[in-house]
Amino acid sequence: MVVFIFLANLISFIQPAVAQDSIPSRLVWKVNKLDLGTILEEQGEQVAIFEFTHALDSAVWIERVWTDCGCTSADYSQDTIMAGESGQLQVVFDPSSAVGDFSRMVVVKGNLAGMQDTLFIEGKSIPYPSHPEVDYPFARGEIGFRMEKINMGDVFTNEPSSRTVEIYNFSDSTLLKDSLSYFGPVHIQVKQLQDSIESKQRGLLEITYIGAEKNDLGFFEDHIQMIWPDSLVVNADVIANVFEFYPNLSKDQLGLVPSLRISPTEIDLKEISADEIQEVFYTLTNRGRELLEVKKVQGNCDCLELTLPKTELAPGESMDLRVVFDPKGRQGIDQRNIYIFSNDPLNSIQSIILKSRIK
């Protein structure tokens, strides 16, 4: 059950109240949404604290606090809040009341007309596994994972991306946070979130991927190693799609930036023999007003050979991407995807397709 408790730690002082007829006085919240992250059921109740300040002149008080869930209750102070005073709204969340992603709404209603604020807590609640061997089937040494690989999803170069990963400790040892050693590329960081993970218990790792330090674009798979004492060695693979970040453009900038156009975007070779190497061309054109840089061309198969005559196109200039496809060892309907990364801020990654039917 989710319990809401309002804690007001206010310093009282005497100040004349000035009427605000045109602008109702409101509480100013530091944030209106708090992310509790990934919560394991056995961690018990989690606390989220919303901080507020009453910055206007009129004295106010909170008449009611309620949520969008009938399984919750609220306890709050109805004391008068004077101008300049600050306080907290404490939200206690019980992870046993939710499974998976959750979002809970908290509505705070004051005494003045129109004084109603909406707050949110969100996160992911994971129930305790009844069969750890089934729920954590991918064993890395004596540590179990839910998934075969750690998938970071889309990572951009402007800021690090973090994921919380569950693990199950099948070993007889306690995993201490301070004893964890990490070995892997510098653009990936690993941190144990709990101080300790007991034997036959679950825990959380925070994996951080720094796209700017990868210094490359596209799909990648990196090998990492984590070591705890007692010769507990865990090898894992981290996959990610790394993209260049471009800020939003103003209307005046839209016509000035590089603009990549590809023709055709799809070629169908129809029926081909597995013994015949195929060669096709795609034309790349810069329709913008600034220099276009092709930063990378990546195919989804080693069977593709991709060649560009250069990596820069002046405004209005074109060049051909040469694609050589070796269908040896393949049969039936086949589709190859090719990804082109450029400094076109509106379409920094574009894909083209090569289809065939291999006999």
185-217 pLDDT, tens digit per residue, is 999 999 999 999 999 999 999 999 999 999 999
In a domain, 85, yes or no: yes
Quote the pLDDT of residue 70. 53
| Nearest C-alpha neighbor of 12 from the set 104, 74, 77 | 77
Give alpha helix (H) positions in the chain: 132-135, 211-214
Domain presence at residue 252: no
**Which of 101, 126, 151 is the endpoint of a domain?**
126
Residue 250: inside a domain? no
Q: In CATH, what number is assigned to the domain containing residue 307?
A: 2.60.40.10
Is the CA virtual torsion 205, 206, 211, 212 positive or negative? negative
| CA atoms of 349 and 338, how far apart (whole Å) | 10
Spatial strand order in the sheet of 292-299: 266-272, 349-358, 332-342, 292-299, 312-313
Same domain, 30 and 121: yes
Question: Residue 4: its pLDDT value, please?
Answer: 39
The domain boundary, picked from 81, 100, 126, lies at: 126
- Is 42 contained in some domain? yes
Residue range of the domain that includes 186: 132-243
Q: Report pLDDT for 77.
A: 67
Same domain, 31 and 110: yes
Q: What are 50-98's pLDDT values in tens digits? A: 888 887 777 777 777 877 765 556 666 667 777 777 777 888 888 888 7
| Contacting residues for 260 by C-beta, under 8 A, at least 6 apart | 284, 285, 286, 287, 288, 292, 294, 340, 342, 344, 347, 350
Answer whether 0.85 is exceeded by the pTM: no
pLDDT tens-digit readout, 108-147: 887 777 778 888 989 888 888 889 999 999 999 899 999 9
Q: 320 with 281: CB under 8 angstroms?
A: yes
Total of domains in the chain: 3
64 phi, psi to nearest 5 deg: -160, 145
Q: Can you tell me which residue has the tokens 């195929």?
A: 278
Task: Give the span between the Cα atoms of 103 and 44, in whole angstroms.
Answer: 18
Q: Which of 70, 101, 126 delimits the end of a domain?
A: 126
